[in-house]
Amino acid sequence: MTAQANFFEEVNQYFDQAAAFTAYPPGLLDQIRGCNSVYRFDFPLRRDNGQIEVIRAWRVEHSHHKTPVKGGIRYAPEVYEEEVMALAALMTYKCAIVDVPFGGGKGGIRLDPNHYSVGELERVTRRYTHELVKKAFIGPGIDVPAPDYGTGEREMAWIVDTYSALNPGQLDALGCVTGKPVTQGGVRGRKEATGRGLYFALREACSHPVEMARLGLGLGLEGKRVVVQGLGNVGYHAAKFCREGGAILVGIAEREGAITNATGLNEDDVFRHRKQSGSILNFPGATNLASTAVALEMECDVLIPAALEGVFTAENAPRVRAKIILEGANGPTTPSADPIFRQKGILVIPDIYANAGGVTVSYFEWVKNLSHVRFGRMSKRHEMANELVMLRAIEAATGKLFTDAERMQIAKGPDEEDLVNSGLEETMISAYHQLLETKAQHPGVPDLRIAAFLNAIHKVARSYAELGIFP
């Protein structure tokens, strides 16, 4: 167990701070806060060398106020029960904040994927799925896993294949898990979704003149110095979209250390360098930093923790010099660091809002699976035809003729990826405005995190009210 053994407790501290701004009966708050089901199980893995190893795993369903419950599966050597509970709770609040109609769940398997062969990982994943099926802890209307730290499309493909084999003929079986490869029922844009959502969140935050003036920053992303911790799926894509949006990537931190270059790094080049050399260190043109911890304390405009929880504590928070913290990871800021950031005037864009792009697009994938049709398939040509009519009318009225390139650009008709990305953009923008509104309505609410928790509590409480559980 790590120093973060009280992660669930910490999530509840934030919850309680927000709950103080409500008048809900204590019993209802207890119901919202607690974990409904915690399933812990062990199963044997036959290693490639013939030895048997016992694997410990969990699936936690935090809240059934809406079903299915939703949340990723984490493969990590340090996974422990309260961590999975905390992450499941964060999923409940996250889904509520972005109006994704799911309860929260999370899974964990205690292993380091780097120490197992692909065949072993496949056996573990399929057996894990089997165990969930046995206890009805998975299914398109029950509990729908997704990728998280240490898992990706490959594991999701094994899960859907195992689930489908155990439920022959189940029409909606593809909706038992999200984050699948596109060829296995996935949706275009899911892999990039968490990173893209982080970018939309940051872009929205940076478009507010009063807030930017308070931070001493200009409007927009252009020229903002970004440091990212973690070059996994979330950190990589967040870095990519922010850089493409005009930001300068001045630092990247990973397990083995960190690198910096004031004139800008390219996440693709660094990623390739790491793949070849096994480390981000010694990247041509960059300077090595002594440790990941040093990178977190670099002077920058935007710091993106995109690895694991518990990164900022009362110990290092006073040394953080970023103006904005964009939480890509779940739970990077402990409640002991939070007031320090507030005191320093740092704008923290909280995890339960900022990284909700992943589950938002998971929702689109699930809807696609249940509807059995790709987004845009029915409407693309129709919209294209309408747009061409409009173009011709404009040409007739103005006498200006569009070039073929312009015509293609304007009258393209949206495909699946366009629709997914615009749905994500709309979700992130409107949820941010809801946070600002809540903060404005409650002068005592100290920051966006507590505003986000407050919004989530109201939405979950409303569900319970609609279920007739309280008046």
- Positions marked active-site: 106
**Residue (260 or 455) nearer to ligand GLU, CB:** 455
Residue 401: how many CB atoms within 10 A of its CB? 10
Query: Is the Cβ–Cβ distance between 266 and 243 less than 8 Å?
Result: yes
Residues 318-357, mask of contacts with ligand GLU (x by CB under 6 A): ------------x------------------------x--
Residue located via tokens 């893209």: 196
Query: In what side-by-side order are the strands of the sheet with 248-254?
Result: 287-289, 257-260, 248-254, 225-229, 300-305, 322-326, 347-349
359: CB partners within 8 A, 6+ apart? 70, 71, 91, 94, 95, 98, 100, 102, 146
Residues 174-193, mask of contacts with ligand GLU (x by CB under 6 A): ----x---------------
Instruction: Please report whether residue 362 would count as binding ligand GLU according to CB under 6 A.
Output: yes
**Residue (297 or 351) nearer to ligand GLU, CB:** 351
| Least distance CB 86 / ligand GLU (angstroms) | 11
**Residue (140 or 358) nearer to ligand GLU, CB:** 358
Q: Which stretch binds ligand GLU (CB under 6 A): 219-227, 358-366, 373-381, 450-458?
A: 358-366
| Least distance CB 148 / ligand GLU (angstroms) | 4
Whole-angstrom distance, CA of residue 230 vs CA of residue 232: 6
Whole-angstrom distance, CA of residue 232 vs CA of residue 254: 9
**Residue (121 or 359) nearer to ligand GLU, CB:** 359
Whole-angstrom distance, CA of residue 212 vs CA of residue 76: 38
Angle of the 416-441 helix axis to the 448-466 helix axis, nearest 10: 100
Q: What is the largest CA-CA distance in the chain?
A: 78
Instruction: Please report whether residue 83 would count as binding ligand GLU according to CB under 6 A.
Output: no
Query: Is the Cβ–Cβ distance between 200 and 424 less than 8 Å?
Result: yes
The CA R_g of the chain, rounded to the nearest whole Å, is 23
Binders of ligand GLU among residues 244 to 273 (CB under 6 A) are none
**Residue (267 or 351) nearer to ligand GLU, CB:** 351
Contact with ligand GLU (CB under 6 A) among 12, 32, 71, 238: 71
Residues 31-70, mask of contacts with ligand GLU (x by CB under 6 A): ---------------------------------------x
Query: Is the Cβ–Cβ distance between 450 and 14 less than 8 Å?
Result: yes
Residue located via tokens 């790590």: 2
Query: Is the Cβ–Cβ distance between 312 and 333 less than 8 Å?
Result: yes
Tokens of 384: 């294209």
**Residue (329 or 451) nearer to ligand GLU, CB:** 329
Identify the CA nearest to 99 among candidates 347, 360, 298: 360
| Least distance CB 392 / ligand GLU (angstroms) | 43
Residue located via tokens 């940076």: 206
Contact with ligand GLU (CB under 6 A) among 358, 432, 445, 450: 358
Instruction: Please report whether residue 72 would count as binding ligand GLU according to CB under 6 A.
Output: yes
Contact with ligand GLU (CB under 6 A) among 97, 132, 133, 146: 146
**Residue (178 or 438) nearer to ligand GLU, CB:** 178
Identify the CA nearest to 94 among candidates 422, 424, 356, 469: 356
Contact with ligand GLU (CB under 6 A) among 82, 148, 301, 327: 148
| Least distance CB 355 / ligand GLU (angstroms) | 6
Contact with ligand GLU (CB under 6 A) among 28, 98, 348, 359: 359
Q: Which residues bind ligand GLU (CB under 6 A)?
A: 70-72, 146, 148, 178, 330, 355, 358-359, 362
